[in-house]
Structures are given as C-alpha cells and as structure tokens.
C-alpha cells in the first residue's frame, strides 16, 4: 500500500486532473490512497469571495466556473459539487450579514476547495474504469484541536485511521480512497485547517498510521535537486536524503515537505518519495531516517532572500548572566522568529525576515545594547555532512574569494547537516551558481 499526494498545481484544471488519474491508474496494483489539495487558485478565490462578503457582496463566480467547466470537460456530472456550492453561498451570505470573518468561519470557507477537488477526481477515476471513493478527512478519522487556521492533529487520529479504512486495508473494499488534504474536524465536529504544510501532513499521517510501503508526494520537478533548477541549469536529482536534511532544506528555501509534516513518518520510519508528475518513470528522491549507503559530502545548496541581519553588541553585559535570555525574550515578546544566529560573549548576530515590523523589537533591544541593522541580505545554506565541514568551507570560500564575494556572517547548525552564511541579496543567484560549480563539479 502507498499514499500518493498531489498539490493544487497538479489538479489545477481538467488536463492536470486527467494526468493525475493516469498516474493513479498506473499505480493501482500498489493499492494507493490518494490525497488532494484544492484545484489551482481555488483557495485564493475563496478568500477573495470572503473579502467581498465582509463588504456585503456574495459572489462565487470564479469558484463556480472553474469547477463546473472542469466537470464538463472531464465529462462527469457531480451533484455533490452543486450541493457544496449552495452551502458555500449560504456561508458567504451569513458572512455578508455579519460583515465579519472569524477564524472558525475562514476554516469552514477554505475547506470547500479540497472537498470539491476529491469529488471531481473520484468521479473521473470511476469514469475511467478505476474504482474510487471520495472521503472528507473526518470520514477517515482526522480529529484535530480547535486552533483554527493552524490546527494540530490529536493522538487519537493514529487509532482512527486504521479503523476507518479497515475494509480497504483488508481488501474488502476495492474503491481507491481519494481523501481531502489540509482539513480536519475538532471534537465538536467543527471544520479546521492544518496550517502550513497541511496537505503534506495529511498524507504523512495517513501513511504512517497505516504503515504503508512509502508516501509519495508528486511535484513538477524530478525529486529533490542539488539547487533550484531556475538558478542552476545543471542541478541534479538527489537520490536520497534523510528526514533531518529534508527539514533543513525546507527551512532554508527548498520546495520540499514542510518540516511539521515529517513528524508522523519519522515516528514510524515510513519513507517519503518525491516524484515528478511529468515523468512518472523517474525514481525521484526518497527521504529516509538515515542514509542507506555512503553519506554524501554535500547534498544541496539553497537560498532565502529578503533577510535582515541584526547585530547586537553590549559591553555593559560583559560577564553578566542572562544576556542571551534577555535578547531572546524580546524576540518572544514581539513574536519574531530567528533564522540564523552567531554569538560571542557580548555580541549576537542573527537574521529575521525583512518584511517583519522590527521597530518595537529594536527599541527594546537598544535599552541594553547597541543595535545595527543590515537589510537586503540572503541566507545561503549548504546541506552537507558536517564531518567534512573544513574541506567544504575551504572549497566554498576559495571559490567565492576568486569572485571577490564577501561573506558577512556564518553559522553551523547544531543539526550537523547545515552550514549557512549571509551575502548581499543582489549576489544570491551568482553565489549559488559559484558554490554549485565548486562543490558538485
């Protein structure tokens, strides 16, 4: 048994849905469970409709047209979608009367995208002669807390999923389950969404709870690559990465699974394979607990633009206990996350996303230290085996020195698979290209 997860771009229109159906059909002997996101820009269109409703106008034309046109092109009739659209209109009418959109209502609203997506896919698979049955996430046991817009799945979900899908697991049910990603219900039966990486989390939770052979997440690239192919044309597929390496890649800009979605599969050791929906014969990349062969010196290079360096220095705090605690408490107070950090006894350099409003934080920090901001920076991260960090850094800095590029800050993570440094944002792509050439060629 396998889990196959397809994102919004994979089911964006009738042509893409037909492609996904052909992939699912090709893997039917593997006993798949399919997890889907909403079609294309549906979630954005739903939120646009909500904004209009708050102002007093009910309009679902974009959502309605996309799904009706797609159903027509696929040659399927789906009364359930008409029913869902009527329900959506009723919800938006209520929002328009209240002129308010609560987090709870927002979760209910965006759930319509995934719910319509699975109904379209199941109907089309049936038309193609592939037995299929759609499920909303709560039908297969997904129970969350009530933290709307960013809910967490409850422990009982682990027990619910095998019970709800026991007929498919045993072979008594022949229809392939097509399940909504991203959504769940709390114990009161209220719809919730799982926040960032929610559809990936749905897929890994299903796979881990059922102890499947592997979880497949289908994208439009050939697995995990050594660099962004839009930046480095000669980027290569990485055959195998560990969960830890994949988490670091995702944290520092690569389009891999969201780190929180890897928690269930790490718990059970279930492998995750990143596949290319445009080339189904390709093996892609597999994410595992630990490398099955030799550990590569360098796995990949990623970048994150739009970064600000905050340099904090205070000789007044020399030898004083609690300097770092005081610094970090200010970030906690202003709810600002730190990405990369380097520190000495009386100075700290760290990075944050540039779009954050830093005025309050800086004012508080200046009460105990001198603060200097450097904007328009980028984080370059080398995912590697830190046992070879000296040779890796030697090759990297030699290559950068030849091109007269200066590094402003460096940090080696406690994970031992990550070395990050800061450069001017204008040099980002050039630095990635230089490093890829030096470390892979």
Would the CA dihedral through 245, 249, 254, 260 be positive or negative? positive
| Angle made by CA atoms 69, 70, 74, in degrees to the nearest 5 | 120
Phi, psi values for residue 327, rounded to 5°:
-60, -50
8 A C-beta contact, residue 160 and residue 143: yes
pLDDT of residue 325: 83
Length of the chain in terms of residues written: 441
Contacts of 96 (CB under 8 A, 6+ apart): 53, 54, 55, 56, 57, 58
SS3 state of residue 10: helix
Scan for tokens 């050594």, then name that residue: 226
DSSP H helical ranges for 353-412: 359-365, 389-402
For 273, other C-beta atoms within 10 Å of its C-beta total 19
Query: Could you please report the per-residue DSSP string of 90-133?
Result: HHHHHHHHHT---HHHHHHHHHHHHHHHHHHHHHHHHHTT--EE
Q: What is the pLDDT of residue 155?
A: 97
pTM above threshold 0.85: yes
| Residue stretches of the chain with pLDDT short of 50 | none
Sign of CA dihedral 41, 46, 47, 49: positive
Cα separation, 254 vs 122, in Å, equals 31
Q: What is the pLDDT of residue 368?
A: 82
Reduced to 3 states (helix: H, G, I; strand: E, B; else coil), residue 418 is strand
Contacts 24+ apart (CB under 8 A), 333-339: 333/361, 333/364, 334/360, 334/361, 334/364, 336/361, 339/251, 339/252, 339/304, 339/307, 339/379
- Residues 60-82 have pLDDT tens digits of 999 999 999 999 999 998 899 99
For residue 168, report the phi and psi dihedrals to the nearest 5 degrees.
Answer: -70, -40
- Non-local (6+) Cβ contacts of 13 within 8 A are 39, 40, 70, 73
The reported pLDDT for the residue numbered 344 is 76
The tokens for 357 are 């409003």
pLDDT of residue 320: 57
pLDDT in tens, 249-289: 887 877 778 888 999 999 999 999 999 988 888 899 999 99
Q: Terminal CA-to-CA distance of the chain, rounded, Å?
A: 39
Q: CA Rg, the chain, in Å?
A: 24
């Amino acid at each position: 048994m396998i889990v196959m997860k397809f994102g919004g771009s994979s089911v964006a229109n009738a042509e893409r849905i037909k492609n996904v159906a052909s992939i699912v059909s090709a893997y039917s002997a593997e006993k798949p469970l399919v997890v889907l996101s909403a079609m294309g820009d549906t979630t954005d269109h739903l939120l646009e409709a909500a904004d209009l409703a708050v102002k007093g106008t009910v309009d679902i034309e974009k959502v309605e047209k996309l799904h009706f046109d797609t159903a027509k092109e696929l040659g399927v009739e789906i009364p359930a979608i008409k029913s869902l659209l009527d329900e959506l209109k009723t919800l938006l009418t209520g929002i328009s009367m209240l002129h308010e959109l609560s987090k709870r209502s927002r979760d209910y609203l965006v759930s319509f995208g995934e719910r319509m997506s699975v109904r379209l896919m199941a109907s089309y698979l049936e038309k193609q002669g592939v037995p299929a049955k759609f499920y909303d996430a709560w039908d297969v046991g997904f129970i969350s807390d009530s933290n709307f817009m960013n809910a967490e799945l409850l422990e009982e979900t682990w027990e619910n999923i095998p019970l709800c899908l026991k007929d498919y697991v045993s072979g008594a049910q022949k229809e392939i389950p097509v399940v909504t990603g991203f959504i769940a219900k709390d114990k009161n039966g209220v719809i919730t969404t799982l926040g960032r990486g929610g559809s990936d989390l749905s897929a890994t939770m299903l796979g881990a709870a059922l102890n499947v052979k592997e979880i497949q997440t289908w994208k439009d690239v050939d697995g995990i690559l050594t660099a962004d192919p839009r930046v480095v044309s000669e980027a290569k597929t990485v055959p195998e990465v560990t969960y830890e390496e994949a988490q670091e890649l995702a944290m520092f800009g690569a389009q891999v699974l969201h780190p929180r979605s890897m928690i269930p599969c790490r718990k059970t050791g279930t492998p995750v394979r990143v596949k290319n929906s445009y080339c189904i014969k390709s093996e892609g990349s597999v994410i595992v607990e630990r490398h099955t062969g030799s550990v590569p010196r360098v796995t990949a290079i990623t970048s994150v633009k739009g970064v600000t360096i905050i340099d904090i220095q205070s000789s007044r705090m020399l030898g004083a206990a609690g300097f770092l605690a005081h610094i970090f408490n200010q970030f906690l107070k202003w709810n600002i996350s730190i990405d990369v950090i380097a520190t000495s006894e009386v100075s700290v350099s760290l990075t944050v996303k540039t779009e954050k409003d830093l005025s309050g934080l800086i004012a508080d920090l200046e009460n105990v230290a001198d603060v200097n901001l450097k904007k328009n920076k980028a984080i370059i991260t080398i995912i590697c085996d830190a046992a070879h960090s000296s040779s890796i850094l030697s090759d990297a800095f030699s290559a950068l020195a030849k091109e007269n590029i200066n590094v402003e800050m460096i940090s080696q993570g406690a994970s031992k698979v990550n070395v990050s440094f800061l450069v001017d944002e204008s040099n980002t792509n050039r630095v990635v290209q230089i490093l890829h050439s030096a470390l892979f060629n």
